[in-house]
């Protein structure tokens, strides 16, 4: 079975001083390259979601050879990038992550693909009930349908599409067996995260 990985890179980097977050150096390499490297061990195709053609051209100049997709809708947040990427996805299942997650554990991703079989999504649930929608696997067709519907209804939250889907909630302890420190979920959100002292 072929799998895709979708990397959301269209954010404006507000907390990073509006710099191009995906290309910011982390240990000497563009942040997004860590996500790509992890996912290439697990998926057959990588789709990078960008906000517009200008950002696409910039990323292609640094990282050629991937499928880039621009947002179909403005001011819709990540849902627009998710929908645009899903529309070009040729595989049945996809893993969706943000471009600022440099420690993604490929074995955790493999587990989520297995957990999604027979479901519309496999989403990790923490002890407090918090869900991890941007470190999750989705079945593309139902996710396209529900994401379109959410956008048409003016919803912007990433979790909006999943309420009508058959979701396999994966408890955090299953991930902890693979990744004891849960580094796979770490986001680089600030300049301090990027350059810890």
Summarised one tens digit per residue, pLDDT across range 50-80 is: 998 999 999 999 999 999 999 888 777 889 9
Residue 186 has φ and ψ, to the nearest 5°, of -70, 130
**The pLDDT value given to residue 18:** 62
DSSP-based three-state secondary structure for 186: coil
**The pLDDT value given to residue 197:** 45
**The pLDDT value given to residue 76:** 77
**The pLDDT value given to residue 139:** 97
Residues 162-178: pLDDT tens digits?
A: 999 999 999 999 999 99
**The pLDDT value given to residue 10:** 87
Domain count along the chain? 1
Output the six-digit token pair for 180.
């004891």
**The pLDDT value given to residue 193:** 66
> What is the Cα–Cα distance from 71 to 3, expressed in whole angstroms?
22
Regarding pTM above 0.85, the answer is yes
Q: Which of 188, 177, 36, 168 lies closest to 107 in space, CA to CA?
A: 177
**The pLDDT value given to residue 179:** 97
**The pLDDT value given to residue 118:** 96
Q: Which residues contact 129 (CB under 8 A, 6 or more apart)?
A: none
Rounded mean pLDDT for each run of 10 residues along the chain, 197 residues in total: 92 66 91 96 96 92 95 83 95 96 97 97 97 97 96 92 96 97 90 60
Q: Which of 17, 19, 1 lies closest to 9 in space, CA to CA?
A: 19
**The pLDDT value given to residue 195:** 64
Domain of residue 83, CATH code: 3.90.550.10
Domain that holds residue 15: 3-194
């Amino acid at each position: 079975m072929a799998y895709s990985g979708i990397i959301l890179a269209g954010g404006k980097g507000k907390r990073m001083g509006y710099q191009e977050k995906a290309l910011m150096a982390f240990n000497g390499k563009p942040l997004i390259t860590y996500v790509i490297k992890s996912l290439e061990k697990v998926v057959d195709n990588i789709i990078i979601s960008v906000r517009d053609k200008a950002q696409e051209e910039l990323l292609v100049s640094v990282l050629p050879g991937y499928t880039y997709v621009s947002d179909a809708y403005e001011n819709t947040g990540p849902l627009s990038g998710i929908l645009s990427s899903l529309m070009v996805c040729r595989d049945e299942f996809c893993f969706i992550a943000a471009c600022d997650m440099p420690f993604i554990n490929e074995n955790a991703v493999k587990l989520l693909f297995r957990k999604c079989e027979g479901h519309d999504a496999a989403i990790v649930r923490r002890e407090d009930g918090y869900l991890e929608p941007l470190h999750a696997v989705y079945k593309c067709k139902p996710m396209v349908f529900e994401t379109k519907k959410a956008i048409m209804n003016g919803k912007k939250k990433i979790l909006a599409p999943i309420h009508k889907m058959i979701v396999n909630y994966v408890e955090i302890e299953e991930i902890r067996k693979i990744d004891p420190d849960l580094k796979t979920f770490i986001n680089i959100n600030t300049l301090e995260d990027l350059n810890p002292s």
